[in-house]
Amino acid sequence: MKIEIAREKFLSNFEVQQALVEIQKQNRWNFASKARVYKFDTNSRNSHLANLERITMDVSSYLDKSFAKNAQVDRFVKLINFLNGFELVKVEKLQMVNLLPRSLVSVYSIIEECDTRFTEDECESMLNKIEELFPAKQETVPDQDGDLSMSKN
């Protein structure tokens, strides 16, 4: 394989999800029934489209389980603009957007030498902004007495 045009661009999970939605629209695929059985005919002229449809469905299914399903563009723009106020490299910003860390430990694992580059207050402000724009899902779980209580997921 020969690379004709080299591209150096990072894509977030959200951008990948948007591209997959566009591919689905162009090909008029509907993934409402996830139980569809796929039979691939390697001799068929359109087997590459069946493969693309299957890959698109699988990746979309994975991303639907993450934040990308109900995400809004303006929230990502606000988060990136906020993160631009910190001296983060592109990969660190991308990881912050893709993973949406909920704890200081997660932030420290994403940002290289975080403890020397940023104060704890700066890290907390990043976490607060993420929580403000992308609130964690709330679900009910039984406690020790069997009563239902709310917990963050």
pLDDT-derived band of residue 42, with 50, 70 and 90 as boundaries?
very low
Helix (H) or strand (E) run with residue 140 in it? strand 138-142
pLDDT-derived band of residue 130, with 50, 70 and 90 as boundaries?
very high
The architecture (CATH level 2) of 72-133 comes to Up-down Bundle (1.20)
- Please, what is the end-to-end C-alpha distance for the chain in angstroms? 43
Nearest partner of 35 among 14, 3, 57, judged by Cα: 57
Position 37 pLDDT exceeds 50: no
The predicted pLDDT at position 146 comes to 57
Ranges of CATH 1.20.1250.40 domains, the chain: 72-133
Q: Can you tell me the distance from the alpha carbon of 47 to that of 74, in angstroms, rounded to the nearest whole number?
A: 38
Position 147 pLDDT exceeds 80: no
More confident residue, 99 or 39: 99
Position 114 pLDDT exceeds 70: yes
Place of tokens 């490299």: 89
pLDDT-derived band of residue 105, with 50, 70 and 90 as boundaries?
very high
The predicted pLDDT at position 46 comes to 64
Residue 85, both tokens? 């106020």
Position 47 pLDDT exceeds 80: no
Per the prediction, the chain carries an average pLDDT of: 79
Position 152 pLDDT exceeds 60: no
pTM of the model: 0.68
